[in-house]
C-alpha cells in the first residue's frame, strides 16, 4: 500500500516535472551564489497525519512518508554543506497521544535509529548524530538503538544531526536549571548564593545543545505559525519560516525557497 501511494503521488506530479526541475535548478544556483547559509538549521516536521488524511492513506503511512522525507532533507543539507541541523520528530506532548500510535512511533524510531547506524551517507560524510530530549520512559530497545547510533558516530567531525525526540522546550529549560543547581550543590554553594549570581550563560551551558551554536534559521511545515516549544531558549534570535505544505510533501523547491528567504533577511539580533 505504501508503494502504491508513492506511485500515485509520483503520477500526480509527473506533468509538472520539467518545470519543477528547471525551477529547482534556478533556485539552487541562487542559493549557492549567496555566501550565507544557516549554520544551524532547525526543522519542525509537522503535518504527517494530516498529509495521510488528505491523501486517503492510513495514518501510519503518513509517518512512513515523513521518515522518507527526513532522509531526503538530510541529503539536501549535506549537499549544501549546512553544518548543524536539528529535526524535531516527537514532542513531550506527542508522547501523551493514543498509546497504540505512540507504540507504533517507538517501533519506527528504533528501526530508523538502527538504519542510520549503518547508513553509508552517515559514515561516508562523518555525520555525528545525537538524540536530544527525555528518553527515560522510552522502551529499552528504543533507547538502546539511539545509544548505539550516538556511539557509532560520536567521534565524527562532519555535519552534526540532532534528533529531538521526546523533546519539549520547557522541559529542557527545567532540566538545565536542575543540572545547574545540582552542580552548584556539589560545589557546596547555597541556593541563595546560586540565585544571586545566576546568569543566562549558566543555563546555556546545561542545555541539550550545549557547545553548539543556537539555530539561526527554523523552518516549520504544515502551515502552523508557532514554535510549540521548539528550542525556546536557543531560538531567541532565530529567523523563522513557516511553510504551508505538510512535512511529507515538503519539496526541494520549498527548501530552497526557504533558504533564499533567509539569505534575503538582515539579521539584527534585537538591535
Which positions are catalytic?
Answer: 46, 94
Residue 228 is assigned to a ligand binding site: yes
Alpha-carbon distance of 146 to 141, in angstroms, equals 9
93 is in an annotated binding site: yes
Known binder of ligand: residue 227? yes
114 is known to lie in a ligand binding site: no
Residue 235, marked binder: no
Q: 91 labelled as ligand-binding?
A: yes
| 72 annotated binding-site participant | no
Consult the annotation and say whether 9 binds a ligand. no
Q: Which residues sit in the known binding site for substrate? A: 47-51, 59, 91-93, 97, 220, 226-228
Q: Which residues sit in the known binding site? A: 46-51, 59, 91-93, 97, 220, 226-228, 239
Amino acid at each position: 500500500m505504501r508503494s502504491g501511494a508513492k506511485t500515485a503521488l509520483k503520477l500526480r506530479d509527473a506533468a509538472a516535472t520539467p518545470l519543477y526541475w528547471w525551477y529547482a535548478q534556478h533556485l539552487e544556483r541562487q542559493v549557492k551564489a549567496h555566501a550565507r547559509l544557516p549554520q544551524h538549521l532547525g526543522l519542525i516536521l509537522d503535518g504527517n497525519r494530516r498529509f495521510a488524511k488528505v491523501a486517503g492513506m492510513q495514518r501510519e503511512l503518513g509517518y512512513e512518508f515523513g521518515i522518507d522525507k527526513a532522509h531526503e532533507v538530510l541529503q539536501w543539507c549535506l549537499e549544501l554543506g549546512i553544518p548543524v541541523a536539528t529535526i524535531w520528530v516527537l514532542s513531550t506532548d506527542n508522547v501523551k497521544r493514543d498509546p497504540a500510535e505512540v507504540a507504533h512511533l517507538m517501533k519506527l524510531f528504533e528501526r530508523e535509529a538502527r538504519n542510520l547506524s549503518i547508513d553509508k551517507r552517515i559514515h561516508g560524510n562523518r555525520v555525528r548524530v545525537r538524540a536530544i530530549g527525555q528518553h527515560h520512559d522510552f522502551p529499552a530497545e528504543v533507547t538502546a538503538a539511539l545509544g548505539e547510533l550516538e556511539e557509532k558516530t560520536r567521534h565524527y567531525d562532519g555535519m552534526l544531526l540532532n534528533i529531538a525526540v521526546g523533546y519539549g522546550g520547557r522541559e529542557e529549560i527545567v532540566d538545565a536549571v536542575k543540572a545547574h543547581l545540582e552542580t552548584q550543590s556539589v560545589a557546596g554553594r547555597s541556593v541563595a548564593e546560586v540565585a544571586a549570581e545566576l546568569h543566562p550563560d549558566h543555563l546555556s551551558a546545561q542545555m541539550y545543545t550545549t557547545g553548539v551554536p543556537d539555530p539561526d534559521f527554523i523552518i516549520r511545515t504544515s502551515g502552523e505559525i508557532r514554535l510549540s516549544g521548539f528550542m525556546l531558549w536557543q531560538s531567541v534570535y532565530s529567523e523563522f519560516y513557516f511553510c504551508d505544505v505538510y512535512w511529507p510533501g515538503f519539496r526541494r523547491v520549498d527548501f530552497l525557497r526557504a533558504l533564499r528567504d533567509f539569505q534575503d533577511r538582515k539579521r539584527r539580533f534585537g538591535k
